[in-house]
Structure formats: C-alpha cells, structure tokens
Structure 1
C-alpha cells in the first residue's frame, strides 16, 4: 500500500473513523459488553437501549451528568448512520423492531484494540506447525504427477508404520505441558477469529449483491444476454469465489461424521491434565454450537440475496413484456387508422422462401409396424426366496407412549419444553419421534410452539453415532 491508498482509508474507512471519534471509548466499551463479550449478534433496538442506558448511568455517576448528554437511542442512531457504519441496522422477517449488529470494520477495530493490552502467552510452535501443515496440504494437494503423489503417500505410510512400531515397543511420545498450552491457545484464538470472520463474509456477499444489482439496473441489452453474462462469469452469489468457499465450509460442518469426530476431540481435549488450569477449557466443547448460528445466518443471507436477485430479474422480464405489448398496441392502432384508406403499392416485403428439394430415393419406404406378442401370464411359485417378514418389520411411533412421557414430566412441573421431555425420556426413533411430538403440540390446546426460539435435540443411532436437530421451541403446559 502506498501513501494515497492509506490516506484514502484514513478518510473513508469506517474502522478508522471509529478510532478517531471523540466518544470512541464509550462506543468500543459498549460494543464489547453487548456483542463480542457475550458472543451475541442481531440484538433488538430496545435491548440495546436498555444496555446502553446502564453503561451511560454508570459513567455519568462517576464522570458527571454532563459527560454524555445524549440519550441511548440517539447514540445508536448516530452509530448506525451510513456515514459512520459502526453498526448495521436492519429488519428481520416478521419483526417490526429494528435489529443491530456489528459491521466487519468495527469487529476488526475491537480485535485490534484488545490486542493492544498484550498477551501473557504468545503461541509460536503451534503456529509454525500450522504453517507447515498448510504448506504441505497446498503443495501435495495441487500435485498432478501420479508418481509424486504416490511417493508422498508412501512416505506418510512409512512414518505411520515407524510411529506404530515405536509405540508397540513401549516408547509413547507425549506432548509436553508447554506444547499443549501452546496448541490450546492457538486453537482458541483461531476459533474466535473464525467466528468473527462471518461478519466480513456477509459484508462480501452484500457487496457482491450490490454489484449485481447495479449491473442489472444499467443493462441495456437483451434479457438472455444479461443472464449469460451473470452466470457464465460466475458472478452470482453462490457461484462466486466467496460463495463456493463458504459452501465448502458449510458442507464440511454439516457432515455428521466430521461433526461427531469434532465433538469427540473437543471432549477429549478437556481431559488433558496439562490444560486443567487454563481459562476457558470447559467452553471449547461448545465451539461448534457457537459456529452453527453464525453460519446459518450467513447461509440465510445468501438465500435472501439470491431470492432478491431472482425477483429483480423477474421485474426486468415484466418490464420487457410490457414494452413489447406497448409496441403491439401501437401497431394495431396504426392498422386501424389506415383501414379505410390503405396505402398504395407494396404494403410489406417479405424475403422469399426456399422450397426444400429432396431426391425420391432419399425418402424411406413405408414399413408397417410390427405387433409384438406379450405373455402377461403370471406364474406363482411356492418358494419365492424372499423373506416376507421384512414387510412387517417397519417401525411406527406410538403417540400414546409420547403422551404418557409428556404427562409424566408435567406431573412434577407446571410446564416443560420438548428438550426437558427428551432429557427425561431419550429419543429412540429420531426425527420421526420429534415430528410426532410436534403433531401432539399442534393438536393440544395447552401446548405452544415459539417460532422465535430454538432448541437442540440429540439422539444416538444404533451404531453409536450422535445426531442433532435444531427445531422451534415447543412448550407443554399442565392442563388446569
């Protein structure tokens, strides 16, 4: 970067303007307390006003009443203005109250300010190992020579055989305490950075959406040429480089086998003796649960932007059809006007049509169709070699048993959620059992389904693998 590009950032970047602002300590302290500290996103306006009122009250009590004279709502509106863009203000489906979230620039500033305090421990060995692993994956994964790929796989297999032989001989290499702490800090830092990167991913998607809208709005050619330009260059939301990378992360995170392996690794990491005194050790087991809401929100943003682009293209088609109908009406009105006095001479000229010429022997002779006899008789054999019991081994969900589970839980409580019932009576039939609980809730006058809240249910398959489902919150209430 040169002087001019840095000066342009100083004059127009939202993060730089936040650092230069007079009330930057107030804004950053509030953003950390409301968003990054509790790891929350998409907070309602009234909730943010209440939280900011508490912060302003404490500051005015210690610094004086005239320190921050504006109200909490005015500060929020000022921070969300397009000229500042420290907060992103938007509306969600089915909500009349605006929702606020940090912009990617603000999140970068918060991360930088937090890094100014310094760190008691800086991981170095784990970072070097990560660099080597990434470099190996890049080089060997891009290799097109089969012999080179086979040589590398053979080398890896030899290393694994040597390690296995070393363990069989009783020499088990164990990571030392400092090495374990080094890798643990690198793990938590990378997890937090990945979670904060989703804001920038959403910002990239919205930037790409604006670029496509401008291209569609200013297009002067045909509709087909516009679609070909958009999709052939893969500038659509899902086909962009950012979209394909994010889709790969989504597919990786949604893999049941990989999610189960990640959960088991996190659980085993909490039992390492060298990490017993580390802060935040117990919280790493919820790492993937923190990722899922952020990833789902980004995925929802992609779906919404793609749907808006489709609607914009439909509007262009409607306007094009309207223009064609206007031209047809103009032609019809002109024809009616000259109906009584038609113009002399040729009215219209059409290019001549060519008569196709085919040689007689090029035409195939007539060949009558042949009727093929079909034997539709059905033979019955005494021994079909098929186990008929498979027709009767289908399971069904006993709703009477589910109702008994609900009544048993409500005997000791006024109300209970579906998660409480699943804890007391674990799910044994997976999604089919969850759907049956939802059916009972819709049919019961004392049960409610909250579409604005979610709960996660889990069950174990016969092979021992774990499955999870995030559904709307269901609340069963004891009948009066």
Structure 2
C-alpha cells in the first residue's frame, strides 16, 4: 500500500508540474521561486534558520519555551534574567555574545521570534514564542530526533485516518454499510481471540515507539495554537480595516457586527478552533483520556521511559486544556472588542481620522511638485501636550543607598540579672502583686482601709502608676462610700502630686486580690 501511494504521488507530481510540457513547468518554477524568495524574507522561521545566530537563538529559547517544560509565556524581566545566565555560560565557553539578554530579546521581538504582550494580571509585559519560533524549534528537533519518521505507529495512524475518511465521506448507503459490517466482523474476530486467550500484546519497544509518536504529535499542538491565535489577530485587524472602508461591498461586515453576529467565531479559524476546544473541555472525553494516560503509565514498558517523557505524557491533556483556554480567551476578547468598536460608534471617529489622513496625503502629493523638502515655510507650530523627557534624565533607585556600611558589633551573652529584669518590667507595667500585698498588710493592721489610707501607709513606689493600680483594684473589688479622698504621691522627677478620687473601701471579706 505504501509503495502504491508513493507511485501515485510521483505520477501526480509529473502531471501537475508539467514535466512533459516545458513551458508550463518553467512558469511554475518561476512563480514558486518568487513566492519562496518572498517567504524567505518575511517568514520568521525561515529567517531564524538561515541566520548566523540561529543556533544560539534556538538553543536558548528552546530551553525556556520547550514543550517539555510546559512554559508558553513568562514575564519579560524573568526571560531577560534567564537569557543573561545563558549568555554568561556561553561566553565562558568562548562564544562571542557581547550584548545583554534584554538587548537580544528586543531584537528577537523585532524579528518576530518572540511576541510581547501586555498582561492584565501583572504590571510587567509578558513574552511568548511566536508561530515562527515554534516552527523552527520543531524543525530542528525533528533533525535531531533519533526516531525514524517511517514507523509502524505512524503508518497505523495514517491508515486509520484514511479508512475513517473513506467511510465518513461516502454518501452511498450500500458501500458504507459494507464497510461498517467489515469493521464489526473484525471487532468480533478480536473479541473471540481475546476470549480464547490467543491475542497479541505489544512488546516494550513497539509500545515505546507509539508513545514517542504520540508525543511527537502533541509537540505540534503549541505551534497550531500559535498559528490559530495569529490568524485570529490578523482576522481582527482585517475586519476593522474593512469596517473603516466606505464601499458598499464592505458594509455587510458592519451590519453583521451591529446585529451581534460573532464574525470572528464564524470564521474558518474560529470554527476550526471551537470544534477542537469543545472536544477538549468535554468532561466525559477528558475523563476517558486521563484514564487512558494513567493506564498506559502503569504498564510495564512505561518504566523504561525517561522522566521527561513520562512528565510530558502525564501533562498531555493539561497542556492542551491550558493552551486551548488561552486561545479561547483571546478569541472571546477579540469578538467583544470588535463588537464594542462598532456598537459604541468608535469606528466613525476612526473613519473620520482615516479620511483626514488620506486628504493630507493627497494634498502633500500635490504640493510635492511645487514645494521642495528643504523649503522653509512661514509657519509657526505651537506645541501642545506633555513634554517627553529622555530616559537618561530619570534617576534610578539604587538599593545600595539603603545598605548599612557600619560594622556590626557582636556582644557576648551574659548572665541575666533577675532584679534588673524585674525593674524593666516595673517601668513598663503596673506591679499589681506589690499593690495587692500593700492592701493585705494595711487591712491586717486597720481591718478596713480606703485608697488614701493604703497610700498613706504604703507610698506609691511607681508614682502615678501605683495610684492608678489601686484605683483599678478598688473599682473592681472595693465598696463605694459617700465622700471623696485626696491621694498623694511623688513623681519620678521628685515632685509631690495630689488628686481627688471617689472614696472606696477595701474590706477583708471581699475577694479583691
């Protein structure tokens, strides 16, 4: 079967390319050459592969945006730091890479290898691989892969797809029934073989080959997502440009958006991605895929897989769900933005500005024949708006300014002085133990006592703090009586103080301690 396919391909190539007709072949070659030359200058993947710095770019970026790491986007400062570390390692090995990581990343963004986007979740910009970078990494990985592309698993996948396509595209009931009956007979034969115990089991090498084939197919999915996202963004720009045009044949797009039609979702790229995304988020299908993955990793042959292969195999569905959800958010955001652009009438202002710019260009074209570029005009322009200063005028924050330059002294630990610690506590807190003892002593001598009498017999050693402490005890546990008392104490500066307080009496029968 494979031989017949190759033979048919060669015959089709000879027929279409016109080998037997030299005129048509020459025209086809010239057109192809012009098309490929234009592609080699514009396509980021092609320019990266033929650039002198291509190996260094692929070596660094493939480490941080590889399919095995699961990283598809990171903050720009984080990538700058990672590239700086890679550059230092390469310089230590003698490679001439004199610039900083930020400078190289800026060039890669300008060349189309990386895409810089604003992040709604953080203040930093994010950087992600472009469609061209993923294509270049995939091509280089394919060159280094030790697995042959002509494998049994790939041919099995190809034959299964051909069989499904031939069956599902058949409009005749009799041939379709014949194919289904044949498939059912094959399934019955396999069931009988399993029931009898005579059925083949894949050996370790062939099973590992199929795992590698699955991972190879999965590694192409990020590139597909990047292409879909780029296509959706190009479609969004084209739709906005079409809305700004005045021609009647472009008015259909404006009317559809006004009516709430999701023009982006109904596009070829939108419908294709929506079908894929609906399959990913289907809970039944997702649960079945997770079960299959767990079952495969529990097999005996899976123990021979590398840790990276097992990790990638484990994250197959998760990576597709995360990448698919991101593209779905982008498609939804673009559709909402386009609908707001139309329904808010912002397109009218853009259309007016476009007309003004074109009018100015036409006027400049007419004036170009009469006024030279170096001719000085008698016109004074008044500057409006904000003044933009140079970045060099900004004063950057230096963390070293807050650094303490003095020498830190180390003190040897000593023996704690209990009396000194008690004194420190007395300076910050009221000594209620001392006050309670004073009240008990006075009550033992007098039988009953007021706050003033306690202070008369036992002076306030903490000054006002002792007075306040006695009042707290009196208000909590003492008895109020008519009249007022004058209490006195000596402050820390040696000044004699006095205050009038409500009279309260301590009695022995009250549990005031």
TM-score (norm 1): 0.61
The 1:318–1:282 alpha-carbon spacing in structure 2 relative to 1, beyond 3 Å, is: closer
DSSP-derived class of the 2:335 partner: helix
1:303 maps to what in 2? 332
**Pairing 1:2–2:32 present:** yes
Distance 1:114 1:44 in 2: 25
- Which residue in 2 is equivalent to 1:114? 141
Assess, with a 3 A threshold, how the Cα gap between structure 1 residues 178 and 38 changes in structure 2: closer, same or farther: closer
User: Does the alignment pair 1:169 with 2:200?
Assistant: no
Q: Which has the higher helix share?
A: 2
Deviation of the 1:307 alpha carbon: 1.3
Match of 2:42 in 1: 12
1:51 aligns with 2:94: no
Question: 1:152: Cα distance to partner?
Answer: 2.3
CA contact (8 A) 2:76 2:126 kept: yes
1:163-184 CA distances to partner (integer Å, 9 max, x unpaired)? 2222222312222333322212
**Whole-angstrom distance in 2 between the partners of 1:308 and 1:204:** 16
Which residue is equivalent to 2:321?
Answer: 292
Aligned 8 A contact 1:205 1:242 in 2:
yes
Check if 1:148 corresponds to 2:190. no
Structure 1 residue runs of 4+, over 6 Å off?
229-232
Aligned-pair CA distance for 1:238: 0.7
1:148–1:75 CA distance, 2 compared to 1 (3 A): same
Matched, 1:129 2:186: no
- Following the alignment from structure 1 to structure 2, what is the Cα–Cα distance between the partners of residues 125 and 150? 29
Q: Assess if the C-alpha contact under 8 Å between 1:79 and 1:86 holds in 2.
A: yes
User: SS at the partner of 1:63?
Assistant: coil
Give the stretch that moved more between structures: 168-177 or 310-319.
310-319
Cα distance, 1:41 vs structure 2: 1.5
Structure 1 unaligned regions, length at least 5: 324-480
C-alpha separation between the residues in 2 aligned to 1:94 and 1:170?
Answer: 57
- Distance, in Å, in 2 between the alignment partners of 1:200 and 1:178 is 34
Which runs of structure 2 are paired with 1:340-355 in the superposition (5 Å)?
A: none
Whether 2:108 is the aligned partner of 1:79: answer: yes
Q: Mean Cα displacement is larger for which, 93-102 or 272-281?
A: 272-281
Match of 1:42 in 2: 73
2:266 paired residue among 232, 235, 239: 239
Deviations 1:307-330 (A, max 9, x none): 12112212447739x99xxxxxxx
CA distance in 1: counterparts of 2:137 and 2:206, whole angstroms: 29
Q: C-alpha deviations, 1:260-309, integer Å up to 9, x for none?
A: 11011111111222343122453212211111111111111101111121
**Cα distance change on mapping 1:54 and 1:148 into 2, 3 Å:** same
Residues of 2 paired with 1:275 and 1:211: CA distance?
48
Q: Which residue of 2 aligns with 1:282?
A: 310
CA displacement at 1:205 relative to structure 2: 1.2
Structure 1 residue 269 corresponds to structure 2 residue 296: yes
1:70 aligned residue: 99
The alignment status of 1:204 with 2:247, answered yes or no, reads no
Structure 2 residues without counterparts, runs of 5 or longer: 1-30, 353-513
State how far apart, in whole Å, the 1-side matches of 2:291 and 2:217 are: 19
SS of aligned partner of 1:2: helix
Give CA deviations for 1:106-134 in whole Å, capped at 9, x if unaligned: 11111112222241555511111111111
> The residue matched to 1:114 in structure 2 has which SS?
helix
Find the counterpart in structure 1 of residue 406 from structure 2.
none
Superposition deviation, residue 136 in structure 1: 1.6
Contact 1:32-1:110 at 8 Å conserved across structures = yes
For normalisation by structure 2, the TM-score amounts to: 0.57
**Alpha carbons of structure 1 residues 168 and 20: separation in structure 2 relative to 1, 3 Å:** closer
How many residues align? The count is: 317
Which residue does 1:191 correspond to in 2?
A: 218
Deviation at 1:148, TM superposition (A): 2.8
Return closer, same or farther for 1:155/1:315 CA change in 2, 3 Å cut-off.
same
C-alpha displacement of 1:221 = 4.1
- Would the alpha carbon gap of residues 219 and 300 (structure 1) be closer, same or farther in structure 2, given more than 3 Å must change? farther
SS where residue 116 of structure 2 aligns? strand
Deviations 1:419-454 (A, max 9, x none): xxxxxxxxxxxxxxxxxxxxxxxxxxxxxxxxxxxx
| Whole-angstrom distance in 1 between the partners of 2:197 and 2:116 | 61
Aligned-partner Cα distance in 2 for 1:278–1:71: 38
Match of residue 218 from structure 1: 245
**In 1, are the aligned partners of 2:116 and 2:126 still within 8 Å (CA)?**
yes
TM-superposed deviation, 1:30: 1.5
In structure 2, C-alpha distance between the alignment counterparts of 1:261 and 1:70, rounded to whole Å: 50
Following the alignment from structure 1 to structure 2, what is the Cα–Cα distance between the partners of residues 266 and 223? 49
Over the residues paired in the alignment, what is the CA RMSD in angstroms? 2.7
What secondary structure sits across from 2:65 in the alignment? helix
Aligned residues of 2:243 and 2:347 also touching (Cα < 8 A): no
Q: Look up the match of 1:439.
A: none
